[in-house]
Amino acid sequence: MLFRFLDVYGRDRPSRLRHNLRLCTADACTATPLVFLTVGGNFILASLITQVYRIDNQTYGWISSLPSWCNALQIALVAGLARGCTSRQLSLGGAVAHALVWGIIAVGLPWLPRDDPHRTARALLVALALASMAQSFASVGWTSWVQEWLPRRLWGKYFGARNRASSLATVAFFVFVGWTTSQLADAVFAYQLIFGVTTLLRVMSCIWQSQMVTTPLEQSALIYLGWRGQLSRLARERDFVRFVIYGSVTAFVINLASPFYPVFAYESLRLSVDQYALLVLLATLGGAIAWPWWGRFTDQHGCRNAIILSLATWSFTDLWWPFLHAGHALWPLYFVWLWGGGASCGFLVGTFNWLLKLVPTQARVAGVSLNLALTSLMTAIAPILAGSWLDSAHAVSPARAEWTFRALFLAKPLLQLAALILLRGIAEPANTRFQSLLGAMRSQRQLLASQVSPVLANFLSFRPPRGGRDRSDPPTNEE
């Protein structure tokens, strides 16, 4: 679908837009595996750190918080880079540095001593901090750059399709991880192979990204009002400030427990890496199925309703964790993870799109950077506190540590639902009341229920009808 305002950049704009969309999707598919490795608390690094190198929970909590600390620190560094750096340059430069650091990690992994956890932990802290900082630059640059060439009307639809493609690529990556860790006897070599392959994929993503064509206007410098001017502009946006507060609280609650799910699975549930990889694969597959629907849902019914529905469903699946024990059958977990992976996507789509709506155009980069910094600060503190609690409990007895795990897993879904109160009063354009959604879901739900599992139908069939748009958008050609 084309838009009239695209024509101001020339008649070649539609084909150039399609060209950029294809390359942006290819970039996502090849970058996602290494970006996943950089996320704190992922199951791959959790296995390497706690099972192979036997690093304690408190230190693991610090390592898991590194990406968040770097995301918080980037706001000071981006302010300096922004004076002469474009958003495209920041995105591409950060991506190249990200691949370079992980290449060094992949090569140097066999030299880390397995009999000296403290020395190994120091080396990993330095290396992963550099990788996380590079990725934070790439994230801020990309988020700002993509807003400059992608029409706002396409955000929900395109990001839903793009995230589905990247989720399917991640599913393939998890299959590779599960096969590698189960087939190779040398655990260090298995992880070295995983890191090497993902680094090569990240290099490919840099190539795709560099081939995207943008006009000089779309490569404008990051600073428009000046950094202080942008921050002053943001301070006057009451809804933006309140949304950042909500995001920070929710980030703290989620990351208080999330990095320790794989540790609990390995130590208490006695799951292997490939078994846990299968669970994460199913969650990712659920996300791949649900991403496009959540994008359409957000466009049609608003970000607030997507967040509420997503967190309600996601929190229900998380309530299983406190009651799991070693020896339980795994097949119920397959359904729980498939469902939870699809449910959580709505929260991600809703928060991302709502943030973009609230950030003023003149303060776009400062808004993205400030939100990332504050939410990441809370994300960094949470696993450090949780790791300290777990280590203190383990010093008393292993049974006390296991009960501490379960208490964290019970608190997370309840607190993230309670945090929804903070969304009250935050404005969002073109909202649809949540109560009005129930009737619109009925016909599609009944149609899908006759063809697939009725339970999945209740979740996946909520495709909103065509029509309706953000009133702030220009009219389409069809109109």
Where does the pLDDT of residue 79 fall: very low under 50, low under 70, confident under 90, or very high at 90 and above? Answer: low
pLDDT computed for residue 58 by the predictor: 82
The predicted structure's pLDDT at residue 273: 81
Residue of 185, 174, 196, 199 lying closest to 52 (CA atoms): 185
What mean pLDDT is predicted for residues 157-173?
Answer: 81
Q: What is the mean pLDDT of residues 77-94?
A: 78
Across 449-454, average pLDDT = 31
Of the candidates 107, 145, 146, 142, the residue with the CA atom closest to the CA atom of residue 127: 107
Q: Is the pLDDT score of 234 beyond 70?
A: yes
Which pLDDT belongs to residue 107?
94
pLDDT of residue 151: 80
361 vs 98: which has the higher pLDDT: 98
- Token code pair at residue 276: 């846990």
Share the mean pLDDT of the chain.
Answer: 77
348 closest CA partner among 154, 177, 162: 162
pLDDT score for 216: 52
What was the pLDDT predicted at 225?
53
Q: What is the band of 215 on the pLDDT scale with cuts at 50, 70, 90?
A: low
Comparing 193-197, 259-263, 364-368, 427-431, the range with the smallest average pLDDT is 427-431
The residue-averaged pLDDT of 345-356 equals 83
Spatial CA neighbour of 334 closest among 376, 294, 279: 279
Residue entry with tokens 């540095």: 97
Q: Which two tokens stand for residue 353?
A: 């799109």
pLDDT given for residue 227 in this prediction: 63
pLDDT, tens digit, 9 for 90 and up, residues 32-78: 999 989 887 788 898 899 888 988 888 888 888 888 788 777 767 76
Question: Could you give phi then psi for residue 86, rounded to 5 degrees?
Answer: -85, 160
Confidence label for 165 from pLDDT (cuts 50, 70 and 90): confident
The token pair that represents 70 in the structure block: 């770097």
Mean pLDDT lowest for which of 87-101, 118-132, 155-169, 242-256? 155-169
pLDDT of residue 7: 35
**What is the spatial distance between Cα 242 and Cα 354, in angstroms, rounded to a whole number?**
12
Q: What pLDDT does residue 189 have? A: 92
- The per-residue pLDDT for range 256-309, each reduced to its tens digit, is 888 888 888 888 888 888 888 888 888 878 877 887 788 788 878 888 889 999
* 3-state helix/strand/coil string of the chain: CCEHHHHHHCCCHHHHHHHHHHHHHHHHHHHHHHHHHHCCCCHHHHHHHHHHCCCCHHHHHHHHHHHHHHHHHHHHHHHHHCCCCEHHHHHHHHHHHHHHHHHHHHHHHHHCCCCCHHHHHHHHHHHHHHHHHHHHHHHHHHHHHHHHHCCHHHHHHHHHHHHHHHHHHHHHHHHHHHHHHHHCCCHHHHHHHHHHHHHHHHHHHHHHHHCCCCCHHHHCECCCCCHHHHHHHHHCCHHHHHHHHHHHHHHHHHHHHHHHHHHHHHHCCCCCHHHHHHHHHHHHHHHHHHHHHHHHHHHHHCHHHHHHHHHHHHHHHHCCHHHCCCCCCCHHHHHHHHHHHHHHHHHHHHHHHHHHHHCCHHHHHHHHHHHHHHHHHHHHHHHHHHHHHHHHHHHHCHHHHHHHHHHHHHHHHHHHHHHHHHHCCCCCCCCCCHHHHHHHHHHHHHHHHCCCCHHHHHHHCCCCCCCCCCCCCCCECCC
Question: Which pLDDT value is given to residue 27?
Answer: 93
Predicted confidence band of residue 100 (pLDDT cuts 50, 70, 90): very high
Reported as a pLDDT band with limits 50, 70 and 90, residue 127 is very high
- What CATH code is assigned to 14-427? 1.20.1250.20
Q: Given pLDDT bands bounded at 50, 70 and 90, which one contains residue 468?
A: very low
Q: How far is CA 99 from the centre of its chain?
A: 19
Residue 92 is predicted with a pLDDT of 92
- Of residues 411 and 374, which shows the higher confidence score? 411
Assess whether pLDDT exceeds 60 at residue 185: yes
| Band of pLDDT at residue 3, cut at 50, 70 and 90 | very low
Answer yes or no: is pLDDT of 475 > 60. Answer: no
pLDDT at res. 447? 28
The residue with greater pLDDT, 116 or 461, is: 116
Q: What pLDDT score does 437 carry?
A: 32
Contact assessment for residue 173 and residue 193, using Cβ atoms and an 8 Å cutoff: no
The pLDDT tens digits for 299-335 are 788 888 899 999 988 888 888 888 888 877 777 778 8
Domain residue limits, the chain? 14-427
Asked whether the predicted pLDDT for residue 374 surpasses 70, the reply is: yes
436 vs 353, more confident: 353
13 C-beta neighbours (distance < 10 Å), count? 17
pLDDT tens-digit readout, 239-255: 888 988 998 899 899 88
In this structure, how many other beta carbons lie within 10 angstroms of the beta carbon of residue 83? Answer: 11
Position 370 pLDDT exceeds 70: yes
> What per-residue confidence (pLDDT) applies to 82?
61
